[in-house]
């Protein structure tokens, strides 16, 4: 006697589970221009590295003689995989079964995804397409059975909250995502959305019934909405591009909060000095310039990965490498509101700084800050509250910071670019003060200007005198910055600083030896 019959049924169940929603379900998915969840995982993971967890979870159907007739799998696929050789936990809804709305086994597997990442201390990737639960009850006259979890059950949100404080979480919206999957999508450090996806709290029919608003899924939560709302970080043209962005995001991140970010041998040289940096900031004070060109000239070539570009666009955030080390990057973009901090930019900054602080990423800040955005719209948006909250996050940062004053630092908002122990470099184009010259003159000399025979000439004269007083040389003379530098020296100086602060060497602790990085 042997267990061959039972073993054969195990293999049959696995085979049937791989059929997902059947040929018709898979065909419908492809006709919509979308991959299945298994194809998505295959596209993300290193070839042959995916090891599924819970293949046998689902609902069997038997023949009259007790033999297995069919098997409907859990509509959440979950398991271990590797991305560029590094271990992750990956999971996602199977839209070919019930449109991704969880069946009982699928719900249990989805809840377990966070637990797996926490237990094994590896990054978590969730690939979303589906809705939440369904309306309770049978719709008949018989009263519905009691629903809901028992009072002693652990909240499903507990592990979702815990995991973002322990390991990197990256998510993707690859179709319609609503309800609980939408909440899980945004409970992440990086989220990306395919162009044919939607992220919504509730669908058009519910919105029509409850709000008498007639809109499509795309109008409610398409990429054009959420790229600017801050709900997602990036928009990808295709699903394949979205998966590539997740893989790239993870390449900068450690496996968990107890590790340092990964180091990659640089192809760039730390001594590189770009001549264009000497003239990239115009001598005409009010003329804009391209901050991304500054970043390109300073960071390792081709390493900058921008995040959340269209939300709070006056602030640039992203990950990069400097001499092979992972770093977080923040910078003002003077092409939007002169780089002023809006309410959206402040919330974007706080979230990004918190992520860098969580995962031990040194921060580089390239400063061109004119202050908080002003005007009635800014006041209504609560800019001062969100901006002060962002400053508080910066003040609480525990990771190394280097701040390069490229151009302006004015007002309270300027504090958001300098952590308590920031290493501060200044360019000769730097201007600092309580207010920009133009605003200061309008306030402080209002009476003189009103009484002058030629107010415009007087205004220009005063502005020129005050602009001269905001020169970076007196600050350097008073040791208010660590160094006033030739802009071309920026990369070498930052690489040198990062070598000082980064724990790259073995620590000799008597009989013990601790290696901080392999």
pLDDT digits (tens, 9 = 90+) for 324-356: 999 999 999 999 999 999 999 999 999 999 999
For residue 7, the number of C-alpha atoms closer than 13 Å in the C-beta half-sphere is 4
Pairing of strands 58-62, 76-83: unpaired
Rounded mean pLDDT, 220-247: 96
pLDDT band at 15 (very low <50, low <70, confident <90, very high): confident
Residues whose CB falls within 8 Å of the CB of residue 6, separated by 6 or more in sequence, listed in order: none
pLDDT band at 160 (very low <50, low <70, confident <90, very high): very high
How does 116-134 read in b/e, with b if 16+ C-beta sit within 10 Å? bbbeeebbbbbbbbbbbee
Q: What single string gives the DSSP state of each residue in 374-387?
A: -SHHHHHTTHHHHH
Tokens of 62: 């038997």
Residues whose CB falls within 8 Å of the CB of residue 506, separated by 6 or more in sequence, listed in order: 513, 514, 515, 516
For residue 68, the number of C-alpha atoms closer than 13 Å in the C-beta half-sphere is 19
SS3 of 197-263: the string is: CEEECCCHHHHHHHHCCCCCHHHHHCHHHHHHHCCCCEEECCHHHHHHHHHHHHHHCCCCCCCCCCC
Integer angstrom CA distances of residue 352 from 51, 82, 306: 32, 26, 11
pLDDT band at 507 (very low <50, low <70, confident <90, very high): very low
Q: Residue 508 pLDDT more than 80?
A: no
Would the pTM count as exceeding 0.75? yes
Render pLDDT for 444-488 as a digit per residue (tens, 0 to 9).
667 776 777 777 777 777 777 666 667 888 889 999 999 999 999
**378-308-35 Cα angle (round to 5):** 140
**Rounded CA separation 211/209 (Å):** 6
Instruction: Give which of 102, 95, 83 is closest to 170, Cα–Cα.
Output: 83
Scanning 359-489, the segments in alpha helix (DSSP H) are 376-380, 383-395, 437-444, 446-451, 455-469, 472-477
Q: Which residues does residue 199 pair with via DSSP β-bridges, in sequence order?
A: 177
pLDDT band at 57 (very low <50, low <70, confident <90, very high): confident
pLDDT band at 145 (very low <50, low <70, confident <90, very high): low
Predicted local confidence at residue 438, as pLDDT: 58
Rounded mean pLDDT, 45-57: 93
Instruction: Please indicate whether residue 401 or residue 147 has the higher confidence score (pLDDT).
Output: 401
**Rounded CA separation 31/25 (Å):** 10
Predicted local confidence at residue 154, as pLDDT: 85
Number of C-beta neighbours around residue 155 at 10 A: 9
Render pLDDT for 432-449 as a digit per residue (tens, 0 to 9).
876 665 555 565 667 776
Which residue shows structure tokens 């939440």?
132
Tokens of 22: 């059947």
At 102 the three-state DSSP class reads coil
pLDDT band at 285 (very low <50, low <70, confident <90, very high): confident
Mean pLDDT of the chain: 89
Rounded mean pLDDT, 70-75: 84
Report CA dihedral (305, 309, 313, 318) to the nearest 10 degrees: -20
Predicted local confidence at residue 66, as pLDDT: 82
Highest mean pLDDT range out of 4-13, 263-272, 497-506?
263-272
Instruction: Give which of 419, 402, 359, 365 is closest to 189, Cα–Cα.
Output: 359
Percent of the chain clearing pLDDT 90 (strictly above): 68
């Amino acid at each position: 006697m042997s267990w061959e019959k039972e073993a054969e049924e195990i293999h049959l169940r696995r085979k049937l589970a791989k059929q997902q929603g059947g040929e018709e379900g898979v065909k419908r998915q492809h006709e919509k221009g979308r991959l299945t969840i298994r194809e998505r995982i295959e596209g993300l993971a290193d070839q042959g590295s995916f090891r599924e967890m819970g293949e046998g979870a689902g609902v069997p159907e038997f023949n009259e003689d007790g033999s297995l007739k069919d098997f409907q799998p859990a509509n959440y696929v979950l398991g271990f995989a590797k991305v560029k050789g590094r271990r992750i936990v990956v999971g996602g809804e199977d839209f070919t079964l019930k449109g991704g709305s969880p069946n009982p086994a699928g719900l249990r597997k989805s809840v377990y995804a966070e637990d797996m990442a926490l237990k094994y201390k590896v990054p978590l990737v969730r690939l979303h397409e589906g809705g939440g639960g369904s309306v309770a009850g049978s719709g008949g006259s018989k009263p519905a059975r009691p629903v809901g979890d028992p009072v002693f059950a652990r909240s499903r949100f507990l592990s979702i909250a815990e995991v973002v404080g322990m390991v990197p979480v990256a998510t993707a919206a690859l179709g319609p995502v609503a309800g609980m999957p939408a909440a899980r999508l945004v409970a992440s450090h990086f989220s990306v959305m395919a162009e044919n996806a939607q992220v919504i709290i509730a669908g058009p029919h519910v919105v029509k019934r409850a709000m008498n608003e007639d809109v499509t899924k795309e109008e409610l939560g398409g990429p054009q909405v959420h790229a600017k709302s801050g709900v997602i970080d990036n928009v990808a043209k295709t699903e394949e591009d979205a998966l590539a962005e997740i893989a790239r995001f993870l390449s900068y991140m450690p496996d968990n909060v107890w590790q340092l970010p990964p180091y990659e041998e640089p192809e760039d040289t730390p001594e590189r000095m770009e001549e264009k940096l000497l003239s990239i900031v115009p001598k005409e004070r009010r003329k804009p310039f391209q901050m991304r060109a500054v970043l390109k000239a300073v960071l390792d070539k081709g390493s900058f990965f921008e995040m959340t570009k269209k939300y709070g666009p006056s602030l640039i955030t992203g990950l990069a490498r400097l001499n092979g080390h992972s770093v977080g990057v923040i910078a003002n973009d003077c092409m939007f509101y002169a780089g002023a901090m809006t309410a959206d930019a402040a919330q974007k900054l706080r979230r990004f700084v918190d992520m860098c602080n969580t995962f031990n990423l040194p921060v580089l800040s390239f400063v061109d800050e004119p202050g908080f955005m002003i005007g009635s719209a800014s006041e209504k948006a609560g800019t001062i509250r969100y901006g002060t909250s962002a400053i508080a996050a910066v003040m609480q940062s525990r990771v190394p910071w280097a701040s390069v004053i490229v151009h302006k630092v004015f007002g309270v908002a300027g504090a958001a670019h300098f952590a308590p122990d920031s290493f501060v470099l200044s360019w000769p184009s730097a201007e600092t003060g309580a207010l920009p010259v133009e605003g200061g003159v309008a306030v402080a000399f209002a009476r003189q200007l009103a009484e002058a025979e030629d107010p415009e000439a007087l205004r220009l004269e005063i502005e020129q005198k005050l602009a001269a007083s905001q020169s970076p040389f007196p600050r350097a003379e008073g040791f208010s910055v660590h160094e006033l530098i030739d802009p071309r020296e920026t990369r070498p100086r930052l690489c040198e600083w990062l070598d000082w602060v980064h724990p790259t060497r073995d620590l000799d602790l008597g009989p013990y030896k601790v290696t901080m990085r392999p």
